[in-house]
Every structure is written in C-alpha cells, then in structure tokens.
C-alpha cells in the first residue's frame, strides 16, 4: 500500500514539473532530460511492477501451511462436552491425518461468560500453542487477538467467537485444496483502474450493517466513505477501519458471479494523513482480491453492504478461483 502512496506523490511531482516546463516553453521536464510521456511510461511501468509484486506475495501467502487453503472444517460448540478426533464416534470429526481421539472440549460458564476448556487425550502427543499438552487448558478465542492453537499431527484447530457463540475452525496442512492449488487468475493490469479518489470522514462515527455468509448482519462502526469517478459518474463506498492506517473496502460490482467471486471482493487503501478531514486516497482496483470463502465453504466472510454494491463493472484485480475446493460456495 505504501508504494501506492509513493506513486501518487510521484505523479503530483511530475504534474508540478510539467507545469513549470510549460511556463518556460520547454518540451522536457525540468532537470530530467526526459519528456512528460517518458516520465508517464516509467510511472506506469513502476505501477505494473508493484502490482506484480503484490500478486506474487498473495500467491505465496496462500501456499503457506496454515493459509485459507488448509481450512477443512467449522464446528459450532454447544455447552457441555465435545469429543474430538478422527474416529467415527467423535462428536467433532477431524481429518484422518489426526489421531482417533485427540481430547475433549468442554464449554461452560456462569454470569454470561463462557469458557472453552481443552482436555488432551493421554495417549497422543498434542500441542497447545507449540507446547506438549499434559493438563487441561482454557482456550482463547479470536475476539481479542490470536486464538489458542491446538495441534495434532498435520491438523490444527482453534476456537473463534462469532455473535456470542463459539466455533472451532479446523485446518489441515495436508489438505487437498492446498496440495492442488491451481494459482490465481487476474485481469490484465490496467493503469486506469488505479483511481485517485477522495476520503470523506463522517462528523461522528457511523454504524452500518454488514451482511455475512452466516446469515444476518453485523453492526460495524465506520470512519467515513470513499468517493471516486469513473466515466463521468461518481461512486461512493463506505469504508471500514482496516487498522494500521488503512481503509478496508468490501464491495460488489457487476462482474460478481460471472468473472469474479459472487460474494464480492476486498480492497485496502491508505488512509489520508489527517483522517479527520477530507483528503485524497488511491483506490488501486488492480489489487482487489477475493474473500477466503472463494476457497472454502467453512470461512465466515462478510458480504458487501447494500450501499457498496456498485452499478459498475470493475474489470480489474482478482478473478474467481477455478481450482479445486471442498464442498460448494
């Protein structure tokens, strides 16, 4: 994302130098020895290289042993005891690469607080956050950071918190989806889809309803919206706080369900330095990417809010995944 900001500043500098050169009735950019067209070509080449680096990094991330491609299960827990393992009589069935019986998950609590306790089986080597588990341990969900990881063979599982309920997400480093990953497909890089837009903060934090593949909606506070123009029309997207100086956009467009994933796509953009005032923002749709639900039916993805479904075909960025996936989505 930082490279996008550098490119924007570079373009601004070029425009300034071109203006000075025009005032001097000179055909070249002052001090560069190059024409404006050469400068523009170099900027476009830098942008293409930047997007190619981004795509290579995304591909490499997905090939990691605990990426979204390794997600093989999602199990909702009720209060009480849940047996865990690959055995046929287990309540929570793990892939065959795990032992028959890994242990028990015990869910309970009082005063509205629920806790998940993992009781490891004595016969197998099970690790909790990298340490061999010999005693019961309370598992931490993902509401306040990274969840506790339980590892048995090539299988890793951990609790996640969603709408007041606890589920167990299961990953397998030997998952077929990872072994047979076919790579990603993209639109050709298009400079015109690197759009200079405008961030418009809300005077007060605004709440919006964000739908989910789980059904229903989640209430999210947003700092503002992003406006941009395309072919003479102005479009607006509500932006979530992406953390670390980033805006997070969940958007839909007219390519969804045809060329791109039907559940919309995601995009990050750098927040202006002073986010309390309107300011410029670069939306590089060449970096738009699919949510994890494109790879697995067990991901819990947000969907574009109604106001973020654009009457526009954004023919840039990542296309839908055509490789092997378990289940349907």
Q: Rounded distance, CA 4 to CA 268, Å?
A: 11
Question: What angle separates helix 2-23 from helix 36-62, to the nearest 10 degrees?
Answer: 180
Helices marked H in 130-260:
176-179
Q: How confident is the model at residue 40 (pLDDT cuts 50, 70, 90)?
A: confident
DSSP assignment letter at 161: E
Angle in degrees, CA 252, 241, 159, rounded to 5: 85
For residue 30, the model assigns a pLDDT of 29
For residue 113, the model assigns a pLDDT of 64
Output the six-digit token pair for 262. Answer: 């039907």
Contact 291, 299 (CB under 8 A): yes
Q: Rounded distance, CA 105 to CA 97, Å?
A: 19
For residue 27, the model assigns a pLDDT of 30
Q: How confident is the model at residue 38 (pLDDT cuts 50, 70, 90)?
A: low
Question: Of the candidates 62, 58, 53, which has an alpha carbon nearest to the alpha carbon of residue 3?
Answer: 53
Q: Rounded distance, CA 159 to CA 168, Å?
A: 4
Q: How confident is the model at residue 6 (pLDDT cuts 50, 70, 90)?
A: very low
Q: How confident is the model at residue 154 (pLDDT cuts 50, 70, 90)?
A: very high
pLDDT tens-digit readout, 93-108: 999 999 999 999 999 8
Q: Rounded distance, CA 176 to CA 172, Å?
A: 9
The SS3 assignment for 86 reads coil
For residue 110, the model assigns a pLDDT of 59
Strand bridging mode 80-85 / 92-93: parallel
Output the six-digit token pair for 293. Answer: 């639900």
Whether 288 has a pLDDT exceeding 70, the answer reads: yes
Instruction: Say which residue, 78 or 205, is predicted with more confidence.
Output: 78
Contact 37, 59 (CB under 8 A): no
Whether 28 has a pLDDT exceeding 60, the answer reads: no
Taking phi over 0 as left and psi of -120 to 50 as alpha, with beta for the rest, 244 belongs to left
Whether 18 has a pLDDT exceeding 70, the answer reads: no
Q: Rounded distance, CA 129 to CA 279, Å?
A: 43
For the whole model, what pTM was predicted? 0.84
Output the six-digit token pair for 232. Answer: 């003479």
For residue 24, the model assigns a pLDDT of 35
pLDDT, mean over the chain: 87
Expressed in angstroms, the distance from the first to the final Cα of the chain is 30
DSSP assignment letter at 255: T
User: Given strand 131-132, what is the order of strands in its sheet?
Assistant: 71-76, 165-172, 155-162, 150-152, 127-128, 131-132
Contact 223, 241 (CB under 8 A): yes
pLDDT tens-digit readout, 227-282: 999 999 999 999 999 999 999 999 999 999 999 999 999 999 999 999 999 999 99
Output the six-digit token pair for 38. Answer: 């050469």
Mean pLDDT across the stretch 137-164? 93
For residue 324, the model assigns a pLDDT of 85
Contact 290, 260 (CB under 8 A): yes
């Amino acid at each position: 994302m930082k490279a996008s900001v550098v490119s924007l500043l570079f373009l601004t500098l070029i425009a300034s130098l071109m203006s000075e050169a025009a005032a001097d009735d000179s055909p070249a950019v002052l001090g560069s020895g190059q024409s404006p067209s050469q400068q523009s070509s170099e900027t476009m080449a830098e942008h293409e290289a930047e997007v190619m680096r981004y795509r290579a990094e995304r591909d490499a991330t997905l090939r990691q042993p605990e990426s979204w491609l390794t997600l093989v299960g999602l199990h909702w827990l009720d209060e009480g005891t849940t047996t865990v393992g690959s055995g046929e009589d287990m309540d929570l069935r793990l892939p065959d690469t795990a032992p028959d019986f890994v242990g028990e998950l015990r869910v309970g609590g009082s005063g509205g607080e629920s806790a998940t306790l993992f009781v490891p089986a004595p016969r197998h080597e099970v690790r909790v956050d990298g340490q061999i588990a010999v005693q019961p341990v309370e598992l931490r969900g993902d509401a306040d950071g990274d969840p506790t990881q339980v590892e048995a063979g090539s299988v890793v599982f951990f609790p996640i918190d969603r709408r007041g309920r606890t589920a167990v997400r299961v990953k397998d480093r030997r998952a077929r989806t990872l072994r047979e990953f076919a790579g990603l497909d993209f639109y050709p890089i298009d400079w015109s889809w690197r759009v200079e837009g405008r961030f418009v903060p809300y005077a007060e934090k605004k709440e919006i309803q964000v739908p989910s593949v789980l059904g229903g909606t989640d209430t999210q506070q947003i700092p503002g919206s992003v406006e941009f123009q395309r072919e003479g029309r102005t479009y607006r997207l509500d932006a979530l706080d992406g953390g670390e100086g980033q805006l997070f956009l969940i958007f839909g467009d007219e390519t969804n369900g045809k060329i791109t994933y039907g559940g919309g796509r995601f995009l990050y953009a750098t927040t202006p330095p002073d986010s309390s005032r309107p300011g410029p923002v670069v939306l590089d749709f060449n970096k738009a990417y699919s949510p994890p639900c494109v790879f697995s039916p067990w991901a819990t993805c947000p969907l574009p809010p109604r106001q973020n479904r654009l009457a526009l075909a954004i023919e840039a960025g990542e296309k839908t995944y055509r490789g092997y996936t378990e289940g349907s989505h």
